[in-house]
Amino acid sequence: MAKILVTGGCGYIGSHTIVDLIAHGYEVICADNLSYGSTQRLDGIEAITGKKVKNYPINLADKRATEVIFNEHPDLAGIIHFAAFMSVPESVEQPLRYFENNLNSLINVLHFAQVHGIHNFVFSSSCSVYGQPDVLPVTEVTPRKEAESPYARTKQIGEDIIQDFAKAYPQHRAALLRYFNPIGAHPSGQLGEYATFKPNNLAPLITDTALGKRNSLKVFGNQYPTRDGTCVRDYIHVCDIAHAHTLALKHLLEAKNSPAVEVFNLGSGTGATVLEVLTAFETATGVKLNWEYAPPRPGDVVAVYADRTKATQQLGWEPKYSLSEMMNTAWQWALHLNNNLGGR
């Protein structure tokens, strides 16, 4: 049983990935300082898998603290690196905080991967590295444009750091997973997205509004050159995203990657407008939403969605969940939180 370090494993995507890794026979340890994650997700992982996952609540931007994990686990076979701050609006307001955290944590983890001979590295990247593409859908060879936010720039720089790292240390292999807009929750109802820390993602904003915790949902911008004037994004169920990480890790462990660092888009392959997502929620749940238009947000691109052909052909990855199922699982999770965990 290969042992894997998942950084940011108490976060939304990280926790679902841990569940998927355990389901496919891996042993997992976690590193998450809980600045955005929650220990309740560790409880959810245990409820689903029957496995208790050890978490190191450290700041990976702290080199000495990071070293402890690697010294205690010399048998690590791979690393999946999620740990990062991830709010676009917050990154616009606090760019230095984002650069310091996101880049230093990545550098420290790569340093100890090299020192301890851990050759397989999966990086949580983002479609934000593409900026506003000239042509849609985007493929892995679509040129990266100027970043629209400091958050997106940290992902671009992170990818470049990994490319340079692999050139300097040829025994290392990496997969850069550029995923689009994760949404939904584990169908067990035990894991999902918490609407804590002033939520910016669409699903918790929708469900908070549906539960009456918000008077209305703000739709940022209605004058974009799209079919209904709202932004277009490629929404993908979080469990589909999680499974792609397991497949990418297996791809590296079996040394099937060529070149040493490979890029994969993770998206459904189609785009949905914000208004289409709201309609999908109302149709799936029977709950009407109160929403209103608001000015566009700084850092938001107009439209972006993926060509996922490469991930399907090389990793064998096929998304399973429809937009309606994404919204229904998000709603069931929100009801679970509201009824059992005080809403958070």
Can 321 be counted among the known catalytic residues?
no
Per-residue pLDDT at 200: 67
**Angle between helices 40-49 and 12-23 in degrees, nearest 10:** 20
Q: What is the pLDDT of residue 344?
A: 47
CATH superfamily of 3-183+235-266: NAD(P)-binding Rossmann-like Domain (3.40.50.720)
pTM (predicted TM-score): 0.92
Catalytic residue among 130, 151, 179, 224: 151
Q: Which amino acid is at 293?
A: Y
Looking at residue 343, its pLDDT comes to 46
Before 199, cis peptide (omega within 30)? no
Give me the sign of the Cα torsion angle 127, 132, 138, 144.
Answer: negative
pLDDT, position 339: 87
Condensed to tens digits (0 to 9), the pLDDT of residues 108-148 reads 999 999 999 999 999 999 999 998 888 999 999 999 999 98
Going from the C-alpha of 209 to that of each of 65, 206, 228, the distances in angstroms are 40, 5, 22
pLDDT of residue 198: 59
* CA 11, chain centre distance (Å): 9
Are 11 and 42 spatial neighbours (Cβ–Cβ below 8 Å)?
no
74-108 pLDDT, tens digit per residue, is 999 999 999 999 888 899 999 999 999 999 999 99
**Cβ neighbours of residue 250 closer than 8 Å, sequence gap 6 or more:** 24
Residue 38 CA to residue 289 CA, distance in Å, equals 28
pLDDT at 196: 57
Please tell me the number of Cα atoms within 13 Å of 266 on its side-chain side: 33
For each successive 10 residues of the chain (344 residues), what is the average pLDDT? 96 97 98 92 96 97 97 97 92 96 98 98 95 90 93 97 97 96 94 71 90 93 95 96 98 95 95 96 97 90 92 97 96 90 52
- Cα-based angle 223, 181, 238 (whole degrees, multiple of 5): 150
Domain residue ranges of the chain, discontinuous segments joined by +: 3-183+235-266
CA distance 309 to 275: 27
What pLDDT, on a 0 to 100 scale, did the predictor assign at position 280? 97
- Helices 63-72 and 95-115 meet at what angle, rounded to 10? 30
| pLDDT for the residue numbered 13 | 96
Residue-level pLDDT at 195: 60
The owner of tokens 């076979």 is 77
